[in-house]
Structure 1
């Protein structure tokens, strides 16, 4: 790969790249995570009231999982057009799609009002959410890394990664804001407010992203008419092994993350006995550690290479589930907070290196498709299945140990995937540098 000719004036500043990548991703993950929080807290009662509490929770988590199933499809479709038309237009589209679906969930009638139509509409909107998010991460990471100076790709790639913990932080804050409501008011209308607030956030995100421009590297491909005609087909034809291994490598962060931010909301309140506001607060505070670890990991990945840092993070993901559940099971808020903070460190180590690693292993012609599909398949396996598997395992065994062993097993798969990944020799070539102005 040869660095394209570009002038510094043609490149956006680091500040503008950060704002566009971080704000949009934060908004989209806010939209996504408030659904997970609502699935754990209210959707079972409001949309599946005829089920038993356990079955209603499973049904709500299954609806949550539908979004993950849509994410690889969104990654393939949006990645296709991102590799052909450009990153900017797709990032605006994903924001509109995800935010619009989230707002509509906020005005959705419940089962008591329209019967079976309510959960069906919820599933449809969840699919739209997942489809939009499917194309978000890859584009947000690439718009940053493809503008990055050669030795700062991980730091630039981490701009989009901040959106994940910030999405958790803001979604938890939104539900904490309505937590003081009585249970009747919370079920009647309080849960809707975080969804309705999404409309304002989306308007801000679209205004920011409209100012984006694609990196010179991709613009050069377009100018030379060298873009891939069918990027996904080319990806599967030229390098299917990299796609498979990257997908496996992407399992661990969502597996650990969703076990905390989604499943723990049910397990911690219904089994261990934590108060809902307290548990939300503990998870919220742990996101600060998550963000800080992403920064440290990205700096180390630029210094020592993305793959070694990713491997270290994957090892911690294998080790931590058993101690994490043991600490939560004590019922001690202090120990639970430590457990969540270490889980945040586990995720931060991996995702701080992930943007650079996934940019380096895929050729620019198929990079949007490859990075997006791998990330979303890993998210589907690690994120969609984990809350369902955890709920079913506890129902079957009445213990957190099988859940922890399950997490250890799928994180081990992730570790093996990243160890087997090959980073091409040309990965250390300079990408077009952004101005520091």
Structure 2
């Protein structure tokens, strides 16, 4: 076999920037919609509904983005497996960031009537479609440049983007939360959306300097690229695709309970101030990021599957205590509840990138990890705020909500136990330029 032509490998810093910065921007775009849905969209885009119905309608619009995500994962994953990871990662930024900016200039129901919520739904679909292909590409641009002993650590680069998206989106809304209610609903909510344009330009500059990893380039040079990646994935690895999808439910189920539903529940039921909850969630992201780092390092040492199992187990156990702490109305106890929830998510996030890279063949890996992640996100993330709102209206208690989140997490725990790793190449790809084999 002919030797693969030598190419200049990007530095570890370059890979980190492309994976982390881009993903942070994408998740910033995605999460500000969730925050706005909880705080403003009900009255701005669905004003003729009751308070509860307006909230449900806003959360339903939020959920539409999750429905679009598996479609984006399949289509963008298809071309990511056929053409390359880099080009698709630039496309996801343009789609998500462009839709986010347009939401920021969208007229409300008072201005154009029914056209406002319809346009909001369309832009949310575009946003979700772009995000659908983001996570898988960002994970692979990092893990495929890493040696087998460092895949979880490199995979965690993209995972930092999730809490950073929460952090920056909450900071953006916290900055405008001091406005009066009239000012916030008039123009304040738009500011975080408009800022997205500058962030997207930054992300495109960073990602344009990337190259696809040697592992994928070898597949292209050997003319071994799959013609229809999803069809081959469904035929050759249906078990792993199904189980990985179910295993992906727990992190968003816990996460969106805190960062989306709690903004409504905490203010309207428990009585917290909007700015207080935003601050508490913001502070908890520090623990989220720290746990991702620790979990990724431990995953490379003890196995990513073991760490993910541990995280899923904690996700089963924590929802009931979490709501109990929030229900006290004490800010310190609510912060503890959110910090532990962040740790729960961080354990799974630190292990997930390495684990998912190891369970799908490189020829359809972009499609596999993207579809699995987004299907899990749709079940765990899209439905949770809606179901939580409905359950509380029915039972007037948070217990039913906590049991629901715990049950979703139990599905993930059982599923990850059955995931099987594939045989990986024995030869390790060269470490990116400017790195050594020592721990980072």
TM-score by shorter chain over 0.5: yes
| 1:405 counterpart residue number | 403
CA distance in 2: counterparts of 1:154 and 1:237, whole angstroms: 27
Partner residue, 1:380: 378
2:314 matches 1:319: no
Tell me how far 1:224 sits from its aligned partner: 1.3
Q: Are 2:357 and 1:359 aligned?
A: yes
> 1:427 offset after TM fit, Å?
6.9
Mapping for residues 34-433 of structure 1, pairs under 5 Å: 34-426=32-424, 430-433=428-431
Residues matched between the structures, number = 435
Q: 2:311·2:344 contact (CA, 8 Å) conserved in 1?
A: yes
2:438 corresponding residue in structure 1: none
Q: For residue 15 of structure 1, what is the aligned residue in structure 2?
A: 13
Q: CA offset at residue 423 of structure 1?
A: 1.4
1:19 Cα deviation from its structure 2 partner: 0.4
Which SS does the other structure have where 2:433 is aligned? Answer: coil
Normalization by structure 1: what TM-score? 0.98
CA distance in 1, matches of 2:56, 2:249: 21
Shift of 1:433: 2.7
CA distance in 2, matches of 1:426, 1:12: 22
Structure 1: distance between partners of 2:49 and 2:418:
44
Distance in 2, Cα, partners of 1:26 & 1:303: 26
Q: Is contact 1:360-1:427 (8 Å) kept?
A: no
Following the alignment from structure 1 to structure 2, what is the Cα–Cα distance between the partners of residues 312 and 429?
30
Q: Which runs of 5+ in 1 are unaligned?
A: none
Q: How far 1:223 sits from its partner (Å)?
A: 1.1
Contact 2:81 2:229 in 1 (8 A): yes
Greater mean alpha carbon deviation, residues 149-158 or residues 161-170: 149-158
Distance 1:428 1:417 in 2: 27
Are the aligned partners of 1:152 and 1:302 in contact in 2 as well (CA < 8 Å)? Answer: yes
1:336-360 CA-partner distances (Å, limit 9, x unpaired): 0000000000000001000000000
What is the root-mean-square deviation of aligned Cα atoms in Å?
A: 1.3
Return the alpha-carbon distance in structure 2 between the equivalents of residues 206 and 269 of structure 1: 37
Cα distance, 1:292 vs. partner? 0.2
Contact 2:296 2:350 in 1 (8 A): yes
